[in-house]
Chains A and B, each alone.
Chain A
């Protein structure tokens, strides 16, 4: 289980809703600093004003704010500013970017690039660079960031010394082809993947709904992930 004695239960409030470049909703959530998830971790969020809500949602960081944080898309359509929220977490394992990384490759295969954006500010080395590979509409671009279509990823694979991938679980089996790797061959750089999938039990039940095929059996995105070292997974 991923629950720990120091895991928090907080109250929050939706302050603002905005659209990302692809038209997906992001929400500014006011909350205590200790509730803010790291890049790739998630918060389990429920609508306190809706007693009939069946399940909450998992929200990821896209940008910190003085009020709390901007949550990446995955925001329910009915959410509005002023809503009161129950926040549980932060939960799961997020990205762990090694300090020595100088050339960071971001690969967005899901419906948004937002979940990868917090990594840009985590590069510790001077003169480091970030390249985003995606076919999605581009976000407001920090000066550090260059962007290329996914088709160019294959040619550029020698460049990054670390790859961070936003990976919907249904694309796991396509990943090898996308990276142009034959069976048994490996990436030359370290890589971590944020595997996005439904996590209905949020780690309370080990229900198996978010199971991810791994080199040894399977792992649960809700408690073993949702960020995995790519070499742990069967892909």
Chain B
């Protein structure tokens, strides 16, 4: 993929966190249906799983709070770079950083790695506009950069990300809270068909702003992916549909 060029063909890909750190050629996924692969979020140093309850279902979807566990960029590169090099689809590495300096270090580390076609930068739901700008600038270099913005704040933050050098915007799952049976609240990222209307609206508004956007959220059927593309998205990221029927059901 040439510098800052982003072609995803076919216009479907996985969302970060949905299929692991590298394409598993033994898994049931039909890789010819995907135009790119996004890794699980990778941080500078290792992250451990979140404590407490990490999963709860609600009508229309489920809530997930994992803490994005990963072994840190050095071990991820050591273990998975050879798989990226032999991947049947272009690999985008999703980076998770709390500061521009952390992101700069990870970006430099990846510029020496074969098999990486681009970066996706994760942005937390409470990140300031200034930090979005700094993170985007820190990631820009040899690779095209997708900035994954919180769905509920994408319209607010997208212009700054694009002006700072992003190639495109993608959409992170919205965050929510849900009560357990014993009165506690579980917080986390929301997945499931209930998210689709919010995703469609975000894609529509970003397209109206002439922002190149990769739609994501609540896509469980081919016609839903088509609806996101019809709203102007460059491509569609799929998430937990891969986990339904363990990957055999991707628009089969």
Contact among B40, B50, B220, B244 with A205 in the assembled complex (CB-CB below 8 Å): B40
Q: Specify the chain B residue showing the minimal Cβ separation from A46.
A: B245
Which B residues between 9 and 39 are near A, CB-CB below 8 angstroms? 17-21, 24, 26-29
Is A25 part of the contact surface with B, judged by Cβ < 8 Å? no
A221 CB to nearest chain B CB (Å): 11
Are A55 and B240 interface neighbours, CB within 8 A?
yes
Over the window 231-252 of chain B, the binary record of Cβ atoms lying under 8 Å from chain A Cβ atoms (1 yes, 0 no) is 0000000001011111111000
Over the window 190-201 of chain B, the binary record of Cβ atoms lying under 8 Å from chain A Cβ atoms (1 yes, 0 no) is 011100000000
Chain B at the A interface: SS class: loop
Are B244 and A88 interface neighbours, CB within 8 A?
no
Are B69 and A208 interface neighbours, CB within 8 A?
yes
Are A200 and B24 interface neighbours, CB within 8 A?
no
Contact among A1, A86, A208, A217 with B249 in the assembled complex (CB-CB below 8 Å): A86
Chain A at the B interface: SS class: loop
Is A206 part of the contact surface with B, judged by Cβ < 8 Å? yes
* Bound form: Cα–Cα A207–B14 in Å: 13
Q: Using A1-B20, A9-B28, A51-B221 as known contacts, say yes or no to A208 and B66 having CB atoms under 8 A apart.
A: yes
Count of chain A residues near B, Cβ 8 A: 30
Are B28 and A205 interface neighbours, CB within 8 A?
no
* Bound form: Cα–Cα A112–B62 in Å: 25
Are B240 and A200 interface neighbours, CB within 8 A?
yes
Is B57 part of the contact surface with A, judged by Cβ < 8 Å? yes
Are A56 and B48 interface neighbours, CB within 8 A?
no
Is A141 part of the contact surface with B, judged by Cβ < 8 Å? no
Contact among B27, B49, B60 with A204 in the assembled complex (CB-CB below 8 Å): B27
Is B54 part of the contact surface with A, judged by Cβ < 8 Å? yes
B178 CB to nearest chain A CB (Å): 14
Are A208 and B246 interface neighbours, CB within 8 A?
no
Over the window 67-79 of chain B, the binary record of Cβ atoms lying under 8 Å from chain A Cβ atoms (1 yes, 0 no) is 1110000000000
* Bound form: Cα–Cα A4–B29 in Å: 12
Q: Using A54-B62, A54-B192, A54-B220 as known contacts, say yes or no to A204 and B54 having CB atoms under 8 A apart.
A: no
Are B20 and A56 interface neighbours, CB within 8 A?
no
A235 CB to nearest chain B CB (Å): 15
Contact among B21, B26, B48, B57 with A218 in the assembled complex (CB-CB below 8 Å): B48
Chain B hits for A200, CB < 8 A:
55, 62, 64, 240, 243
Chain B hits for A209, CB < 8 A:
54-55, 64, 66
Are B69 and A52 interface neighbours, CB within 8 A?
no
Are A56 and B24 interface neighbours, CB within 8 A?
no
Q: How large is the interface on B (under 10, 10 to 19, 20 to 34, 35 or more residues)?
A: 35 or more
Is A143 part of the contact surface with B, judged by Cβ < 8 Å? no
Q: Specify the chain B residue showing the minimal Cβ separation from A43.
A: B246
Is A3 part of the contact surface with B, judged by Cβ < 8 Å? yes
Is B179 part of the contact surface with A, judged by Cβ < 8 Å? no
* Bound form: Cα–Cα A40–B139 in Å: 45
Are B20 and A205 interface neighbours, CB within 8 A?
yes
Q: Using A1-B24, A3-B26, A54-B220 as known contacts, say yes or no to A218 and B69 having CB atoms under 8 A apart.
A: yes
Chain B hits for A53, CB < 8 A:
244
Over the window 43-76 of chain A, the binary record of Cβ atoms lying under 8 Å from chain B Cβ atoms (1 yes, 0 no) is 0101000011111100000000000000000000
What 20 new A-B contacts, CB under 8 Å, besides A7-B28, A55-B57, A205-B20? A9-B28, A46-B244, A54-B220, A54-B240, A55-B240, A56-B245, A56-B246, A86-B245, A200-B243, A201-B242, A202-B243, A204-B29, A204-B242, A205-B19, A206-B40, A207-B17, A208-B49, A208-B69, A211-B48, A211-B66
Interface residue ranges, A against B (CB under 8 Å): 1, 3-5, 7, 9, 44, 46, 51-56, 86, 88, 198, 200-202, 204-211, 217-218
Q: List 19 A-B contacts (CB under 8 A).
A: A5-B26, A51-B221, A54-B61, A55-B57, A56-B244, A88-B246, A200-B55, A200-B240, A202-B246, A204-B29, A204-B247, A205-B19, A206-B40, A207-B17, A207-B40, A207-B64, A210-B54, A211-B49, A211-B54
Q: Which 8 A-B pairs have the closest CB atoms?
A: A211-B49, A208-B66, A88-B246, A208-B69, A198-B55, A208-B49, A46-B245, A3-B27
